[in-house]
Amino acid sequence: MATVSTPSLAATPKRSGKRDSAEIECLVERLLRQVDRPLTAYEIVELAARYGHSIVPMQVYRTMARLSEQGRVLRLESVKAYLLAKPGTDLFLVCGGCKAVKRVSMPSLSSALSQLRHRASFRSIRIPVEVHGECNACRDQKDRQSAVPSIDRIADR
């Protein structure tokens, strides 16, 4: 889990009893804003608990459904995680190693998808395009690990 410094969350008054949906939306958006990667519902619950906020996964799922309908969050289907929506993001590069996500603006991709939808008479609901691979940091780490002989390779000599 990413290290998060959130004085605004720690300073938020905690109260017992039921929270209304607007309070949960605000909490979830602040948590997503604080991290540099998508979060699953369970990670959101865990992170909220660190700051004394008690919410359950079902509240997160309902909140995400509302925020998604409003265009405020996106769900990356392949990693089953959520992140804040940002206008102009057409593509998400997802690292399989560290789970980092890089947002990419590609007007040509957006235009091509729009033309394709129009020609197919298809009304899309959401279009996050995800490309999976390996970021430079993970690739460099793999290269360093493969450069160091393992005990098995030394024993085989």
Computed over its alpha carbons, how large is the radius of gyration of the chain?
20
CB–CB of 74/85 below 8 Å?
A: yes
Domains and CATH numbers, the chain: 1-85 (1.10.10.10), 87-157 (3.30.1490.190)
d(CA 74, CA 131): 15
- Which of 76, 81, 68, 7 has its CA nearest to residue 42? 81
Does residue 64 surpass a pLDDT of 90?
yes
Which tens digits make up the pLDDT trace of 99-147? 888 988 888 888 888 888 889 988 776 677 889 999 999 988 888 887 7
Cα distance between residue 32 and residue 72, in whole Å: 11
Taking residues 87-106, what's their average pLDDT? 86
